[in-house]
Structure 1
Amino acid sequence: MTNLRALFATTALVACGTAALAEDMTITVWAGGSNDADSYRWESIEIAADMLEREYALQGEELNITVEAKRDFGGWEEFKQAVTLAAEAGTAPAIVVTSHLDIAPWSQAGYIVPVEDYLDLDAWPLNDIYPNLMQIAAYDGVQWGLPQDAESRPFFFWKETMKGIGYSDADIDALPAKVASGEYTLKNVLVDAKKAVDMGLVEEGYGFYPRVSNGPDFAQFYQSFGGVLQDPETGKLVLDKAAMEEMYQFFVDAVAAGVTRKNHIGTEWSQWYNEVANGKAALWHGGTWHYARYTGQEGNPDFFGTIQFSLIPAGNDKGHANTITQPLVYLLTDQQDDKVEEVAAQLLKIASEPRMNALHAIKSAHLGITKQESNIELYSNNRWAAEATERLLGTANAQPNHLQYGVFAETMWKGLEAAWTGVQTPAEAVAAVEAEMTAKLGDELIVR
């Protein structure tokens, strides 16, 4: 009888505990730079919420999570302004999906909290995320966020044009390995691009067809000539004058050779996409996400039959073949209720599992964030995802999470634009860049 009463008492306590623990919670997610193809940036959080509710239920607790998502902000500037204003007002969304470059300023401003305070980074699935991607989501020795996706910025070759200048199918197949080893360099790019123009295979100015506006891509060419963006010991930004001048000179030489247009900068993106996707350019550089646009909107149904891709070639013996990844990251914002931060962190962990992240990677033509993602059939059976991951992602680096990197990147672009368009010589442009960077960055800049 005593045991029976104890059983009833325990049951009552469990029932009361369950009622006491029932909780309704709203988790708001704001995703910058996203469209319909990127819907799993927030839908993965919705799926994770359902899973977490079920886990709580099996432990005798009731947690009802409502996920409210927003992705229409007009553009990146509007998105970042909205996040900043909301954080200042104490109404920031629990989760933001944004560029890793926001980590430095937002952490210093107190807008975000470290994910490492809530998650075991050495446990599954976080211990399976590529280490270089985790480093990109960290700043000043602290793991502030988790990579939401990955991408890379490869170099592209139009196969038919390469055959026209003398390459065999075997030669074209061997290009990615030759680029990676440094056997095929940017010098070869200029030679091949000029052949394509001189032979009339592409129009003048279409031998090498670069990106038409500023972006992370151009830091890759700086690295191709031995440039380093950040000193690993001090964390300071680095201006390597020789590497910068040689990078500028490469684009000046491309214009002089007639393989790149002097007025190329500012070309409409819609025009550029259509031209490179359909063989009007011989060689160019872009992003892994371009695959979806080339094969979709731009009407190229045979990507692998028409295009070869590789790392960005080295420029000289001091540099190396490379690619930059610009992953978006999940960040947790500072909330009045710590429980919201705890639950949001758990949702990020679940959303980072290989099968979950593969949904986003395949739908949006991005790359996966975890090693085991390559074992998910949805991912491994997708030729683009599989080959791009193997060829590019493992060695990808990123622009540094530094409070003043935006100044560095913008100044580097101004110098390139001045040299490219003939306003200054490469040497003059670098001198102007050094003066401006030194004035604006001060002790945070190392000049070599």
Structure 2
Amino acid sequence: MIHWKIGTAALLSAALAGGAAAFLAATPLLAQETVKLELWSRQDPSGPLRPGNVVKAAERLNKELEAEGSPKRVEVVVRESPAKGFDDDALQLLRVFGIGEGPDMFIAAHEWICAFQEEGFVLKLDDYIAKYPQHFGTIFPSLWSSAKCPDGTYAIPQDAEARMFFYNKKLLREAGYDDAFIDSMPERTMSGDLTMDELLDIAKQVVEKTEAQYGVLHRPNKGPDYIMAFNSYGNDFVDPETGNLLLEREKLAAAFGWFERGVKEGVIPANNTAMEFDALRREFYTGNAAFWMYGIWDLGSVAFPTYGLPQEEEAFFKDWGWIAGPAAEKGGSPVSLTHPIVYVIAADTEEPELAVRLLGHASAPDLNTDHAVTTTHLGIKPEQLEDPRYAEAWPLARATELLKITKFLPNNAQFGELNGIIYAGIQGVESGRLSAQEAADFVIEEASSSLEDVIVK
């Protein structure tokens, strides 16, 4: 069932201060010509300002149109989807577009945009982005990569995240590492000096010389985080010329080899993929593991409120820290991984210019910061670092540094299925059922037989 709601009605009343006033402002009463723009958004309590900021943006655009002497005024209609996740939402929306009932704009996970582009459902934005630098000119350049298909840009980044290896400095000290070594780890990682194997060596020292049971923990189900380790070993999983999935046997084997070495060294538990998510968090945040491969949002949602880690910046970094994903070899490139949500415009919207301008206003630093600080997401523009609210949310301000090295999941609708196969490979390696090379061969064989147009090298 799909629900239709106009402006801030019901969906956004809890998210927007002064919801009734915002609704009235976004819905012009005296406009000579009202342009209704429909925005598709899944019901997502973790990000109510994704659609909410578009509603607020209508007020700003309408003032701009009035100043220009234009007779047009914009009214935003929010069209809700009850899909549980972005994958289900995208599949539902593809069907809606397929019967000619698509909205003017929609919110999606970035990896789906090329599926819509291939069907001709979405507007190419390169010319519009160049035309409105006041809206789009300062968005972090790295984020635009998540909005591209092989022939151009088809989306506008709405937010970002950062994934990293958190680490427990108290355990590293107990293992014999001094503060100079520990404090140099982030900089050494960013310079390419600290490697993935050195991370395992550090974790091994912790396991051998302290009471901690684990060296490195990672998520116990399919998801983006462990892809960061594959990125370190050169796996991008997409062919830039065609947009097809790309599997490179040697690089896959090298990445699986890191997990294999971790288990053999007693650093990564062989049953990591069988453990409960909350149990893994508890092991790390209560001091029973050296490293935790996850994302910045975990501090605000779990570490601070549940496990009592210090919320003040200086106190936190006294005993805790994080590093990017290290390079595979010295002198190589570190990585982080983000999963942007994006705004997209339909190819057949009757008012593309107004839709672009509307989403431009929705991308304003103050509105994006409203979303960032209330949901622990990273901002999309450097100006947001100057906002006192963003600066006060120091995990966001500090993690924004990682956007300059960030990687993305491929903009290919089949990657979710491929990721499931990769995760099965990790399970096989960590449980000892597969060697690293066998896991690489398994992924290639399974993907080649079940997915379309997979390129193998």
- TM bucket normalised to smaller: 0.7 to 0.9
Residue of structure 2 equivalent to 1:270? 278
With over 3 angstroms needed to count, the CA separation of the structure-2 counterparts of 1:165 and 1:385, relative to structure 1, is: same
Q: What's the counterpart of residue 371 of structure 1?
A: 382
1:241-320 alignment, distance < 5 Å:
241-293=249-301, 294-302=303-311, 303-317=316-330, 320=333
- The correspondence for 1:65, drawn from 45, 62, 75, is 75
Equivalent position amino acid for 1:351 in 2:
A
Residue in structure 1 matched with residue 398 of structure 2 by the alignment? 387
Match of 1:333 among 313, 333, 346: 346
User: Among 425, 428, 448, which residue is 2:435 paired with?
Assistant: 425
TM superposition shift of 1:199: 2.9
Greater shift in the superposed pair: 280-289 or 251-260: 251-260
Mapping for residues 88-167 of structure 1, pairs under 5 Å: 88-116=98-126, 118-121=128-131, 123-167=133-177
Per-residue deviation at 1:137?
0.3
Name the structure 2 match of 1:44: 53
Q: Please say if residues 243 and 411 of structure 2, whose CA atoms lie closer than 8 Å, have aligned partners that are also in contact.
A: no
Instruction: Report how far residue 369 of structure 1 moved.
Output: 1.1
Contact 2:326–2:334 under 8 Å retained in 1: yes
Shift of residue 325, structure 1, vs aligned partner? 1.6
1:56 maps to 65
Q: Which has the larger radius of gyration?
A: 1
What is the percent sequence identity of the aligned residues? 27
Q: Deviations over 1:221-262 (max 9, x none)?
A: 123234343344565544332222122122122222222222
Q: Partners of 1:20 and 1:221 in 2: how far apart?
A: 56
1:379-425 residue CA offsets vs partner (Å, 9 max, x unmatched): 234322221112x1111121222354445433333322222222222
Equivalent pair of 1:324/1:396 in contact (CA under 8 Å): yes
Q: Secondary structure at the match of 2:163?
A: coil
What letter matches 1:291 in structure 2?
L
Work out the CA distance in 1 between the residues paired with 2:360 and 2:395. 26
- Deviation per CA, 1:332-357: give whole Å up to 9, x if none: 1345x502x44332211111122221
TM-score (norm 2): 0.84
Deviation of 1:271 after TM superposition, in Å, equals: 2.8
CA distance in 1, matches of 2:166, 2:42: 27
User: What SS does the aligned partner of 2:288 have?
Assistant: coil
Q: Does 1:355 align with 2:366?
A: yes
- Mapped partners of 1:92, 1:103: distance in 2: 14
Summarize the Cα distance change of 1:369–1:249 in structure 2 as closer, same or farther, 3 Å threshold.
Answer: same
Question: How many residue pairs end up in the alignment?
Answer: 424
Q: Quick one: structure 1 residues 137 and 77, their matched pair in 2 at CA, closer, same or farther if it must change by over 3 Å?
A: closer
Measure how far apart 1:288 and its partner are: 1.9
Match of 2:32 in 1: 22
Aligned to 2:5: none
Structure 1 contact 27–95 (Cα < 8 Å) conserved: yes
Question: Any conservation in 2 of the 1:226–1:318 contact (CA below 8 Å)?
Answer: no
**What root-mean-square deviation, in Å, do the aligned CA atoms of Structure 1 and Structure 2 show?**
2.8
After superposition, the Cα gap between the structure-2 partners of 1:77 and 1:396, relative to the gap in structure 1 and judged at 3 Å, is closer
**In the aligned structure 2, how far is the partner of 1:306 from the partner of 1:33?**
38
CA-to-partner distance for each residue in 1:65-86, whole Å, 9 max, x for gaps? Answer: 1442536432334322332232
Change in CA separation of 1:407 and 1:72 when aligned onto 2, cut-off 3 Å: closer
> What 5-or-longer segments of structure 2 have no aligned partner?
1-27
Deviation readout 1:167-223 (Å, 9 max, x if unpaired)? 2333222110111223222222222222222234312xx211112122222222123
* Structure 1, gaps ≥5 residues long: 1-17
Query: Deviation string for 1:85-133 (max 9, x for gaps)?
Result: 3222333333222111101111112332223465545621211111221
Return the TM-score normalized by structure 1.
0.85
One-letter code of the match for 2:190? A
**1:230–1:238 contact (8 Å) kept in structure 2:** yes
> Does the CA contact (< 8 Å) of 2:129 and 2:137 recur in 1?
no
